[in-house]
Structure 1
Amino acid sequence: MTATQVWAQTDRAGDGRRRPPVRGVSPVLEVPFTEDGAVDVPGFRRVVDYVLGTGVSSVMFPGFASEFHKLSEAERAELTAVLLAETGPRPEVAAIVAVQDHATRLAVARARAVVEGGADAVNLLPPHFLAPSRRSLVAHVRAVLEAIAPTPVVLQYAPTETGTSLDGETLAAIAREHTNLALVKVESSPPGPLIAELAAGEPALPAVEGYAGVQLPDAFRRGAVGTQPGCSFTEIYVEIWRRFAEGDEAGGEELHRRLLPYISYWMLDTELIIAAEKLISVRRGLFASAYCREPGHRLDREEIRMIDRFLAEFADLLPTLT
């Protein structure tokens, strides 16, 4: 039985909606490269194995943290196949495969292909090049939802990266006609107000927060059902979420306060946190090279020292990986 079939049988609401495909921490997988810039496929397989070993219930690929915009179609297909081969036999974990195509025709085709390939859910990033109209954005989203129904879709709202503007009522209107709009990934700054608006809408739409978890405590208090950060220090996010979910709000706040100086700096620029997370993974022994495809951020000496301070501070939660 697949993860999608498990959801179809559990937590079913009266309006035909099912439990969303993300609960708790759902890391976005990074892509390691060799020093000469080639995709490190064995390294990616280790990334998948490591993340699944932290006890998460879902993973997402490829996202901004995966440098999806720097992968060829062949590389993307190969890595997606690696991921689905690992998650396919595991009904307890969901593989959420992303669709970021700007042409609606291409987005529909890719969404169908990844579902046929075994994806449990689709993460949909709406088009944003050349500032498409609100009407065309909604039409794009509806076309993908209809093409792969009843497969769950996570709609990614990332206005900082894309400039796209969508409000709670627009999203609720889409959800009223497409019950497979299962979740919204809210990466506005701050995410809390939209998360609360979605939860209070008709129908109520669950949400996860992204953006490296900078606003995770507020998002949790406002009803977020999960968080979708990068993956190089998944254990910290799992522990923060565990504390909040078990009612230890003070403990969750305390651990998040320790993490916040690092993630708030790294999230000043998307390429910066990609570079930082890769070096963290190398320092932990997950793969060999912290190479990022150009154009990217090159860590300076103080940023490297910051990463080493981070690893020392959280050594109890971040064991060396072999």
Structure 2
Amino acid sequence: MAGISPVLEVPFTENGDVDLAGFDRLVHHVLGTGVTSVMFPGFASEFYKLTEAERGLLVGRLLAQTSRRPGVSAIIAVQDHATRLAADHARRMVDAGADAINLLPPHFLTPSRDALAEHIAAVCAAVAPVPVVLQYAPKETATFMAAADIAAIARVHPNLAYVKVESSPPGALIGELLRLDPPLRSVEGYAGLQLPDAIRRGAVGSQPGCSFTEIYLEIWEHFEAGRYDDGDLLHARLLPFISYWMQDTELIIAAEKLISVRRGLFDSPVCREPAHHLDKLEIEMVDRFLGEFADHLPGVTS
């Protein structure tokens, strides 16, 4: 999971059906950028707008591609609220070929910290020794856990291998998790908004959206090579755009889909309702972004 591990989008046709051919093209493109893992389905995939059958179909198509690429891992997300359903779902994904499980803890009706810990432990036990990534997204879920709570689970279930930290800001928790017994590695999410700080505090990867994966890879490569000034500079160019889009999850989904369409990755920017509809100025912002980064994004013309 080191480096950039993008979360894949789900393209829809103009009438709102899943665009299977578009999804296949998108996966092929993202895997071709040089990433070593991808995650699906996440918030960027509009997972909460997919039927169970659609999710299963898309996961199967993703695994068909990752299985042919040595060195590329498929991290499959489990978001079921009921512990029994989540554990069963995670087992099925591992049996289907998932290399790791991304676990979003239950959040409807505010489960207790003990209930959250029991849920996470049950899923870890169900798929051991396959690695589990715990997605900690308090803004989206209003679910809160302390670093010590997570470490207590990891001591019993060592396949709880990573925490995807999407608290705001993420840096303090990333550092705290590394200082625990056992130390827990983190990946940063939230569109890479605080990526330079997260890297400096010990994050081993980032899980942004997938419409401009190449830019995130370039930022990561700068830091990995010790070119901190270059990494900071490229991230600073990106920041005005992602800081605006990340004001709302549906907004960044809509913006990234339009970017993917402009790049020719799939055909329609449709999001299933309820969705954010980009206004004239937001569409112009996407086009400014594409002009600003045209030299970093193959297939984009200025």
TM-score, length-scaled by structure 2: 0.99
Percent identical among aligned pairs is 68
Partner of 1:254: 233
Q: Which amino acid aligns with 1:300?
A: D
Matches within 5 A, 1:166-245: 166-245=145-224
Instruction: State the Cα distance separating 1:127 from its structure 2 match.
Output: 0.2
* Unmatched tracts of structure 2, length 5 or more: none
Q: Aligned to 1:232, what secondary structure does the other structure show?
A: coil
Gaps of 5+ in 1: 1-21
3-state SS of paired residue (1:59): strand
Q: Which amino acid aligns with 1:318?
A: L
TM-aligned CA deviation for residue 320 of structure 1: 1.0
Give the alignment of 1:47-196 within 5 angstroms: 47-196=26-175
User: Which runs of 4 or more aligned residues in structure 1 lie more than 6 Å from their structure 2 counterparts after TM superposition?
Assistant: none
Residue 91 of structure 1 and its aligned partner are, at CA, apart by 2.4
* Structure 1 Cα separation of the partners of residues 205 and 119 of structure 2: 25
CA separation in 1, counterparts of 2:167 and 2:219? 21
The whole-number CA distance in structure 2 between the counterparts of 1:139 and 1:195 is 23
Q: Helix, strand or coil for the counterpart of 1:204?
A: coil
Instruction: State the SS of the aligned residue for 1:156.
Output: strand
**CA distance in 2 between partners of 1:270 and 1:118 (Å):** 29
Please name the residue that 1:5 is paired with: none
Q: Distance in 1 between matches of 2:111 and 2:3?
A: 33
The 3-state SS of whatever aligns with 2:296 is coil
1:14 equivalent in structure 2:
none
Query: How many matched pairs?
Result: 300
CA offsets 1:45-93 (integer angstroms, 9 cap, x no match):
0111011011000000000000000000110000000000000122200
Structure 2 letter corresponding to 1:287: F
Cα deviation for residue 167 of structure 1 reads: 1.1
Q: Which amino acid aligns with 1:100?
A: Q
Structure 2 residue aligned with 1:4: none
Report whether the alignment pairs 1:310 with 2:295.
no
Q: Please give the alpha-carbon distance, in whole angstroms, between the structure 2 residues aligned to 1:73 and 1:214.
A: 31
Other structure's SS at 1:36 match: coil
